[in-house]
């Protein structure tokens, strides 16, 4: 089995690689920083010596680089069982005052990357008549936040894309799942001084994805909605 995972060298993405590799998957993963990709590849190749653990440097905001990633996937000549569109960035801000260009940058990373890579991989899954696509959305896909700005816009759009994919791919037995996590303990929160138990562990999110993948062929988990026990973090806690 083969899983393709974007944004995979830290946080939720790193946990996703670990969780699917523990299930015996070969993994093609990517991230933007070459040093982190090489370090992660070396670590996972040592941890999972009997599996293919292939790391690629890729700026997912650029369609040309996604095409290079796709060439590597095709060259492996294996069925693609799982695609995880996990790559994303967060800039806090208000629509009325955020920097010029913010929405274009966030759209390119948080939405267009998932759109383009999914369109590249779908023909493989259609031919197989099976596969599972996970899109990492956010509670910002569901609720308005006063400091959510363009980030929330892109995550609403990603959830909308996921819902449409779900309907579109039913005839081909391809499962589509939206991951909707609240505050998760990842490097994105490194500047916020909160106790670790205030946020969810990244591995909890990853393990739920594996559980969704392992459901029977006649079952699909359409959404995985997870929040910290004490709900999401308020602006007063920053």
Residue 188 pLDDT class (50, 70, 90 cuts): low
Res 152 pLDDT > 80: yes
Q: Work out whether strand 174-181 and strand 223-226 pair parallel, antiparallel, or are unpaired.
A: parallel
Long-range contacts made by residues 124-128, C-beta under 8 angstroms, separation at least 24? 124/79, 124/80, 125/80, 125/83, 125/169, 125/172, 125/174, 126/169, 126/172, 126/174, 128/79, 128/80
Res 11 pLDDT > 70: yes
Q: What is the mean pLDDT of the chain?
A: 93
The tens digit of pLDDT for each residue in 97-150 reads: 999 999 999 999 999 999 999 999 999 999 999 999 999 999 989 988 888 899
What is the structure's pLDDT at 193? 66
CA–CA separation, 68 and 61 (whole Å): 13
Best CA proximity match to 89, nearest among 104, 68, 69, 70: 104
Q: What is the CATH number of the domain that holds 228?
A: 3.40.50.720
Instruction: Identify the domain containing residue 165 by its residue range.
Output: 2-237
HSE at residue 147, side-chain half, CA atoms within 13 A, is: 8
Name the percent of the chain lying above pLDDT 90.
Answer: 83
Segment among 54-58, 145-149, 154-158, 222-226 with least mean pLDDT: 145-149
Residue 158 pLDDT class (50, 70, 90 cuts): very high
Q: How many helices (H) and strands (E) does the chain have?
A: 7, 9
What is the structure's pLDDT at 93? 87
Res 236 pLDDT > 70: no
Res 159 pLDDT > 90: yes
Segment among 33-37, 105-109, 197-201, 217-221 with least mean pLDDT: 197-201
Residue 45 pLDDT class (50, 70, 90 cuts): very high
Res 238 pLDDT > 70: no
Total of domains in the chain: 1
Best CA proximity match to 214, nearest among 81, 52, 62, 37: 81
Best CA proximity match to 1, nearest among 125, 180, 108: 125
Residue 18 pLDDT class (50, 70, 90 cuts): very high
Nearest 5°: CA angle at 219, between 179 and 162?
35
CA–CA separation, 157 and 128 (whole Å): 28
Residue 57 pLDDT class (50, 70, 90 cuts): very high
Contact 235, 183 (CB under 8 A): no
Rounded to an integer, the average pLDDT of 195-202 is 82
Alpha helices in the chain (DSSP H): 11-22, 34-47, 63-75, 102-107, 113-128, 149-168, 202-213
């Amino acid at each position: 089995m083969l899983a393709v995972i974007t944004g995979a060298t830290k946080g939720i993405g790193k946990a996703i690689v670990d969780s699917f590799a523990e299930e015996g998957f070969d993994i093609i993963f990517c991230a933007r920083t070459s040093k982190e990709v090489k370090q992660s590849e070396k670590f996972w190749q040592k941890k999972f010596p009997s599996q293919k653990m292939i790391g690629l440097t890729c700026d997912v905001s650029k369609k040309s680089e996604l095409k290079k990633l796709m060439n590597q996937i095709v060259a492996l000549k294996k069925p693609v069982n799982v695609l995880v569109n996990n790559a994303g960035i967060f800039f806090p801000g208000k629509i009325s005052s955020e920097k010029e260009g913010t929405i274009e940058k966030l759209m390119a990373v948080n939405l267009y990357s998932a759109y383009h890579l999914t369109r590249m991989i779908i023909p493989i899954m259609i031919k197989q008549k099976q596969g599972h696509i996970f899109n990492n959305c956010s509670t910002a896909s569901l609720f308005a936040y006063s400091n959510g700005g363009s980030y929330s816009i892109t995550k609403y759009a990603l959830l909308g894309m996921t819902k449409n994919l779900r309907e579109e791919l039913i005839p081909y037995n391809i499962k589509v799942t939206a991951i909707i996590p609240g505050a998760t303990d990842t490097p994105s929160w490194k500047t916020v001084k909160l106790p670790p138990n205030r946020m969810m562990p990244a591995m909890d999110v990853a393990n739920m994805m594996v559980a969704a993948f392992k459901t029977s062929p006649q079952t699909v988990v359409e959404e995985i909605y997870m929040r910290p026990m004490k709900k999401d973090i308020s602006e007063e806690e920053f």
